[in-house]
Amino acid sequence: MKKTLLVAALSGVFATAAHAQSSVTLYGLIDAGFTYTNNQGGHSAEQLRSGVVNGSRWGLRGAEDLGGGLKAIFTLENGFNIANGTLGQSSRMFGRQAFVGLASDQYGAVTLGRQYDSVVDYLAPLSNTGTQYGGTIAAHPFDNDNLNNSIRFNNAVKYSSVNYAGFKFGAMYAFSNSTEFANNRAYSFGASYDYGPLKFAAGYLQLNNDTGAAFQGASASNPGTQTGEYTFNAGRQRTFGGGVNYTFGPATAGLLYTQTNLSGTNGGNISPVQSGTTAGIGFGANSARFQNVEGNIRYALTPALTLAGAYTYTRANLGSGVNPNFNTVSLQSDYLLSKRTDVYLQGNWQHVSSNKNASGESIGPMLNGLGAGAASHTQDQVAVTVGMRHRF
List pLDDT tens digits, range 172-217: 999 988 777 777 889 999 999 999 999 999 999 999 887 655 454 4
pLDDT at 277: 40
pLDDT at 359: 63
d(CA 197, CA 130): 20
Q: Which residues of 311-326 are buried (b: 16+ CB within 10 A; e: fewer)?
A: bbebebbbbeebbbeb
Nearest C-alpha neighbor of 368 from the set 147, 219, 187, 160:
147
Rg (CA), the chain: 23
Residues 75 and 59: beta-carbon distance below 8 Å: yes
- C-alpha distance from residue 153 to each of 226, 252, 263 (Å): 7, 31, 20
pLDDT at 362: 72
How many CB atoms are closer than 10 A to CB 220?
14
Residues 88 and 80: beta-carbon distance below 8 Å: yes
Q: Rounded to the nearest 10 degrees, how much is the dihedral formed by the CA atoms of 301, 302, 306, 310? A: 20
Domains and CATH numbers, the chain: 24-391 (2.40.160.10)
d(CA 131, CA 91): 24
Q: Which residue numbers in the chain have pLDDT < 70?
A: 1-20, 211-229, 266-284, 355-361, 372-373
H helices, E strands: number in the chain: 4, 17
The percent helix, strand, coil of the chain (3-state, each to 5) is 10, 50, 40
pLDDT at 15: 44
Q: Give the burial class of 15: count Cβ atoms within 10 A of its Cβ; 0-12 exposed, 13-18 middle, 19 or more buried.
A: exposed
Residues 255 and 348: beta-carbon distance below 8 Å: no
pTM value is 0.87
Residues 55 and 96: beta-carbon distance below 8 Å: yes
DSSP 232: B
Residues 159 and 168: beta-carbon distance below 8 Å: no
Q: Which helix (H) or strand (E) holds 10?
A: helix 2-20
- C-alpha distance from residue 350 to each of 156, 161, 383 (Å): 35, 38, 9
pLDDT at 275: 40
